[in-house]
Structure 1
Amino acid sequence: METFAALTGRLGNAHGIRISLKRLAERGLVTTIHKRPMVYVIVPPEYRAYGAPPFSWWLHDAMQLIEPEYYAGLHSAARYWGSSHYALQADHVMVGSYRAPLTAGRRQVVFTVRSDISSARTVRTRGEKGAYLVSTREGTLLDLMRHRSKVGGLESIARVARDFGPHLTQSELVRALDAMGQVAVAQRIGFLFEELKLDQMATVVEKWLSPRTRTTRLLAEPVPETLTIMTKPRWRVTYSMRDINEIKEAQ
């Protein structure tokens, strides 16, 4: 609102500003995406049918008012880096503390908490109309594995890992592992790299894990009693053939 007031010469006229913005919203020229603080987004003519432009156009500017420590993550980051196998029902943004989803036209922005967000590996990139922060490929994979139950499970993560494989770097993977510092996530992503034949990346994870204490972890959700459980000693990860079949679906 302050920006609108300054641009229209209405500083000090809060009531008039609210009336003007309400009228613009009724005409579909702007849309409200957040109420406290009040944040509006301009809706260009070509996006009137959608109620808002793509979130990459306005994300960074809006988040400076809502939650400055943020980044586009999970499948939204995967899509930015060229891995897009599913029609996303919402855009995914990582933040440092809980926030309710916000609505921008027909789409939602869903927030996922990362308490150590200041250490996350991100890059500032350019969207179609503006810059915003997005996790690196390596950081995206670790976030996906950390939140595997909400991103579509192993098959979904394996598809992204397969697409990212030729572009992953050993140095950035180490930085992402250090930034997250989650041994359990490292164990699971190491297992996945091995199954996908991303041997160099698996070796990087193995070296990162070597001085750290590990306990045996399930690869995925609790396994039904009808399935046989196996353990891969290299990672101290237990799994079933159902898990392996999901990974194979992505190959």
Structure 2
Amino acid sequence: MSFKLGVIGGGVMAEAIISRLLEKKIYQSDQIQVSEPQSSRRDYWQGSYGVATTDSNRELCEGCEVLLLAIKPQIFSAVASDLQGMESGDYPNLVISILAGTCLTKLESVFGDAGIIRVMPNTPALVGQGMSAIAPNGKVSKEGLTVALSIFNAIGEVMEVPEYLMDGVTGLSGSGPAFVAMMIEALSDGGVAVGLPRAVASQLALQTVLGTAELIKTKQLHPAILKDQVTSPGGTTIAGVSQLEKHGFRHSIIEAVKAAKVRSEELNG
């Protein structure tokens, strides 16, 4: 049986993508097949989304029009071994990979003449607020690029970048949700430290971050301008900003992004 979309890997990001594709009716459940080694997870996919499942990566590749690789980069070599020996014509014409630190050259060594698109989405895709950067190889057709854009527009915003920027993208938007979550947690802890009940502090912290991001985006403000608007002479905000500067807040964030970028490069070998 042929499927329009085949997905290798049935984890969190695959679920985020497929659930949004079904919700937006970009694909129907009978057009999707998921390859997943755990039988309990295959049962979950069938029961929750009505999609077909298999434990054979090879079978899935031979039966789909578009292949989405949604596995951890550490197991890419095992999946490649599963597919070893397949004829190039057995692969789908379009392969989309969301593997961190896995370059187009490495993907091409497995999928040959296929059009391949490397993508770095992030976890806000779970609520349709993801940020995805895509980098196609030279064999991706205009129609293939349109397919990829429709998939990732379903989970948030998309931008096309040259591949040499993808490790930096991974360090910023790929890893960034963890850094932002830590900042929200720290703001909440700060609220508790000054006497606020935890529930109150958590709600204040969360909505402050959410609202600030929306304000900067909607008004197209440089973050420094908004910071200056909030910071009055001799006031409370400048006292707090002074402490952040004293303890290297901005430097720490910059170094975190740089470290995540380096790790992405290491994963690629």
User: Fold match, TM over 0.5?
Assistant: no
Structure number with greater CO (CA < 8 Å, separation at least 6) is: 2
TM-score under structure 1 length normalisation:
0.29
Scaled by the length of structure 2, what TM-score is found? 0.28
Decide which structure has greater helix share: 2
